[in-house]
Structure 1
Amino acid sequence: MPSAPSPDALHAAREALAAADPALARAHAALPPFAWRLRPGGFEGLFRMIVEQQVSVAAAASIWRRVGAGLGEVTPERLLAHAPETLRSFGLSGQKARYGREIALAQVEGRIDLNALAHLDDDAAVQVLTAIKGVGRWTAETYLMFCEGRVDVFPGGDVALQAAMAWLDGLEARPTEKAAYVRAEAWSPHRGVAAHLLWAWYGAVKRGEAAA
């Protein structure tokens, strides 16, 4: 079972990031300690990430409760036992129902073993995940961060991270996805911790608790 980095490990990583990048040191100084948001993984974890995309937190929670109640147990077999129309009755869009079936089929047919990703390095794991229809790079990277506790993964396509990076470097516009990945290279091997730091900063600014 994956484990989240300890508070001491997170503190050490933040100190290393602040020492390596004066710009990131400003966000580090402005924010209190945070915990790593580890979530259950496997089929359920990946499917839930698909379900929760592009909807509000409240809507995502409501839909996920309906999915859990409808399936009884969130497994590839239980999902595949339901027709797409039934899955849509749980609150899923047609696209998310199709993507859920694609992930379930990949697992059942042996094209992917979500429980064995830990044996792959980050890049290889991203390639395996994105080979599944409906699983993009952002989904793969956030799955590895939040469901496997990987500390050097950076989802450069995340718009909140891009906004925080623009504040960080005094840019007039958000960096492109490619530019965000390049910028984050300086934060290895703590890119996932840097992402958590930037997300925390973004949230604090939006709540009026910190300055951009």
Structure 2
Amino acid sequence: MLQFNDDNFQSFCNELAERDPIFKNILQQHSYPPMWTRPASFATLIHIVLEQQVSLASARAAFNKLKEKIGQITPARLLQLTDEELRACYFSRQKTVYARHLAEAFISKKIQLNKLTTSHDDVVRGTLTQVKGIGDWTADVYLLFALQRTDIFPIGDLAMVNALKEVKQLPAKTPREDILLLAEPWRPYRGIAAYLLWHHYIKSKNIKL
């Protein structure tokens, strides 16, 4: 499993720029993207669950509120909170259910993150998505940001897909299958392509992170 790190990230960006002019243009316009990473932890998975279908700012506010409430975010500490206490940390009813299922999966050892760090991408995705509330997007973001796998292409990410449609001048209703096909020549660096596309999206829309 190929992983990116501080030593190879920019060279992988350069490799993509040689393969496809859209990435060359992104690098010329915006320079290299930040190498966004997060710890491989339960807290990171909770943060990604909070990011589902809301703004990054809203998710961060909920995550910080939870941290204020319980300090270190662990499965046991989260499960001690009542639904009302989680609601006070800006958790929706649905995300309260998801967070509890995730915490229980850790306590029952259905998920063991130390094993996932050396597992194949598909095994990581399969293990995570057996938990209620964790779909492919959440697993893909974990694989990219926490495990730094180079070839994860989060097709469920609206910002990335919209950026791709913009730079490739694709019709708004381009089917998912066509987008996946388009990304094939970028293997094994489709994850780096996602970083470049997110970077373009953030810069072109002047989004403050």
TM-score normalised to structure 1 length: 0.88
Larger displacement relative to structure 2 (26-35 or 124-133): 26-35
Structure 1 residue 180: Cα displacement: 2.6
- 2:5 matched to which residue of 1? 5
Shift of 1:4: 5.7
Structure 1 residue 14 corresponds to structure 2 residue 16: no
Q: 1:127 corresponds to which residue?
A: 126
* Higher relative contact order structure (alpha carbons within 8 Å, sequence separation ≥ 6): 2
Distance 1:107 1:13, change over 3 A: same
Q: Which deviates the most, 140-149 or 199-208? A: 199-208
Contact 2:140 2:154 (8 Å CA) reproduced? yes
Structure 2 distance, partners of 1:165, 1:59, is 25
- Please list every run of at least 4 consecutive aligned residues from structure 1 whose deviation after the TM superposition is greater than 4 angstroms: none
Question: Are the counterparts in 2 of residues 50 and 96 from structure 1 also a CA contact under 8 Å?
Answer: yes
Does the 8 Å CA contact 2:128/2:139 hold for their aligned counterparts? Answer: yes
1:119 partner amino acid: T
Which stretch of the first structure deviates more once superposed, 195-204 or 176-185?
A: 176-185
Question: Residue 179 of structure 1 aligns to which amino acid in structure 2?
Answer: D
The reply on whether 1:159 has 2:162 as its aligned counterpart is no
How high is the sequence identity, in percent, across the aligned residues?
35
CA contact (8 A) 2:186 2:193 kept: yes
Q: What is the aligned-residue RMSD (CA, Å)?
A: 2.0
What is the TM-score normalised by the length of structure 2? 0.89
Shift of the alpha carbon at 1:58?
3.2
Amino acid at match of 2:5: P
Deviations 1:85-123 (A, max 9, x none): 332222211111110001111111111112321121112
Q: How does 1:30-49 map to 2 (within 5 A)?
A: 30-49=29-48
Runs of at least 5 residues in structure 1 that lack an aligned partner in the other structure: none
Q: Secondary structure at the match of 2:172?
A: coil
Structure 2 stretches of 5 or more lacking a match? none
Question: Residues 176 and 160 (structure 1 numbering): CA distance in 2 closer, same or farther, change over 3 Å?
Answer: farther
Deviation at 1:77, TM superposition (A): 0.8
Which residue identity lines up with residue 44 of structure 1 in the other structure?
A: A
**Counterpart residue number, 1:183:** 182
What SS is found at the alignment partner of 2:117?
helix
Q: Give the Cα–Cα distance (whole angstroms) in 1 for the partners of residues 117 and 94 of structure 2.
A: 28
Pairs within 5 Å for 1:1-212:
5-6=5-6, 8-173=7-172, 175-207=174-206
1:141 to partner: Cα distance: 0.2
Report the more deviating stretch, 91-100 or 65-74.
65-74
Q: Give the Cα separation in 1 of the matches to 2:138 and 2:168.
A: 26
Equivalent position SS for 1:157: coil
Residues 123 and 133 from structure 1, CA distance in 2 versus in 1: closer, same or farther, beyond 3 angstroms?
same
Please give the secondary structure, in 1, of the residue aligned with 2:31: coil
